[in-house]
Chains A and B, each alone.
Chain A
Amino acid sequence: MCVRFEASNVTEMNDWIAIGALALVGVLIPFGMMTVSYLLRPTVPETSKRATYESGEIPTGGTRIRFNIQYYMVALLFVVFDIETVLLFPWAVAYQDALAADIPLARALGPMLAFVAILLVGLAWAWRTGAVQWARTPRQLDADRP
């Protein structure tokens, strides 16, 4: 290679340049296909065929209405667990090295177990309060009652 920096730096940089190049390809391919399609396809404007599909009926009401999105609590829970996975990755990478460096098991593993346990308590709470359950309509709840 012609341009040489520090050996580790150059490979690290090249990695992200290559990923950027693939991102470029990943945008160029869809645009290429859209161009080909633009050249090939017919355009016959007609208002009725642009109507929103609703099993062939005339659509009733709009789509942007208020409704129960069901998993609001789950989404919050997801954020917590997703951040947890980010925090656990460095531990997973360093774990074997730590053991090899004769760090006692309790010190290498203990904090991670405590960390996971705290989050599992959170999950248990969410489970008990019904947050990880698909919400039920009042009618369904009535039907369930003995």
Chain B
Amino acid sequence: MTGLQFAAPVDTTPAVPTVPLQDTVLLPERIGELTGLDGFGLGGELLATFIAAFIVGNLMLAMTGVAGPWAKRKITAAFTDRIAVNRLGPAGLFIILADSVRLLSKELVIPENADRPAYDLAPIVVAGSALLGFAVIPMGSGIHLADPEVGLAYVFAVSGIASLGLVMAGYSSANKYSMLGGLRAVAQNIAYEIPLVITGMSVVIFAGTLQLGEIVAAQHETLVEIAGISIPTWYAFVNPFAFVLFLVANFAEVGRNPFDTPEAPTEIVAGYQTEYSSVYFVLIYLGEFLHIFLGGAIIATIFLGGPAGPGPAALGIVWFIIKIWGVFFATQWLRSAVPRVRIDQLIEIGWKGLLVLSFANLVLTAVIVGLIA
């Protein structure tokens, strides 16, 4: 299972049953076979890989396209007893097209004191880095781009790149609100990154691997059976405490309510994105939504069994999308229902509350697993 070997004192037979690999055929290979590109040597393989990456990238882009201009408005409207967009297409769905044309055709106004290369690069960093994490997420129905052994560590690493983009945006705009927003974003990310990773580690203790395909496969067994319905060993059921901690740390990490202080509209206009207009604004906005979905994808993968669900395995992608939209819905719910915490409260919750709780969770999980084994 792992590359690490232990010298067993007496018994040398492997005591841990090897977990069956899920999704052993990854998407690039499958596309190579389907299109016959695998017959063209290395070039064909690279092209198949690129096509697979293009599919995954655009799937996520389509989801943010639905979420940003349409679902967000509709959900908020439902919470505040309004109707929101309803003129174009069924339930106002065509607003997505209208809005994308509207936003892209806005004039790009660049503030006079902007620090140019950084100002232009920041939106690309924010949008591009958010997409990277989806490479290792098993989405079911064979949509799984890559499954490296360090999967979980990789996801945490690339989702941290966005804070670099945010501080670039905040600093290079030469605007006081942007500056405050960028600094707040960093303060928040470093306060909640540790609880997030430490809580994710308590899942690794159960699964014994960082490979996301195997973490999903390890959640297939039956935990308990209540009245004929078998509850699977999703780690949200095995360790609900860790699930709640991870959920809270994740909301803070992606900067959503009640932790949306970096762009608090009532305090600092729009934070790091104050000076961004036109396509740059679209890219930063897109990056934020991709981040919410990446957070949802991590939660779904390590706590909610990934693409697992009732019905045939081909439905995996449907269940996966339902799960990450569930997390998105939760962020919008909190946006409408929970007041924002102050920045000093935010830092205290992170360092004095969540960090201590996440270490308690890790140590308790390790001790309980050790005693049961």
Contacts and interface: CB of A to CB of B under 8 A. Distances in A.
Contacts of B52: 18, 21
B132 interface: yes
A116 B362 contact: yes
Nearest to A77: B351
Interface in B1-16: 1-2, 4, 6-11, 14-16
Contacts of A127: 351-352
A34 interface: yes
Contacts of B87: none
A99 B208 CA distance: 11
A96 B206 CA distance: 7
Contacts, number: 275
A95 B50 CA distance: 37
B370 A132 contact: no
A2 interface: yes
Given A27-B124, A97-B208, A18 B49 contact: yes
A141 interface: no
A62 interface: yes
Contact of A36 (B44, B104, B145, B204): B104
The main secondary structure of chain A at its interface with chain B is helix
Contacts of A53: 111, 175, 177, 269, 274-275
B55 to A, nearest CB: 9
A34 to B, nearest CB: 5
A16 B283 contact: no
Given A18-B28, A18-B52, A105-B371, A44 B201 contact: no
A17 B147 CA distance: 11
B54 A50 contact: no
Interface residues of A, number: 80
5 contacts: A15-B146, A33-B279, A40-B104, A53-B177, A95-B369
Interface of B: 1-2, 4, 6-11, 14-16, 26-29, 32, 38-42, 44-46, 49-50, 52-54, 56-57, 61, 101, 104-113, 123-124, 127-132, 134-136, 145-149, 153-154, 173-179, 183, 186-187, 190-191, 193-194, 197-198, 201-202, 204-206, 208-210, 269, 274-275, 278-279, 282-283, 343-344, 347-348, 351-352, 355-356, 359, 362-363, 366-367, 369-371, 373
Interface of A: 1-3, 11-12, 14-19, 21-27, 29-31, 33-34, 36-38, 40-44, 47, 49-55, 62-64, 69-71, 74-75, 77-78, 81-82, 85-86, 88-90, 92-103, 105, 108-109, 112-113, 116, 120, 123, 127, 132-134
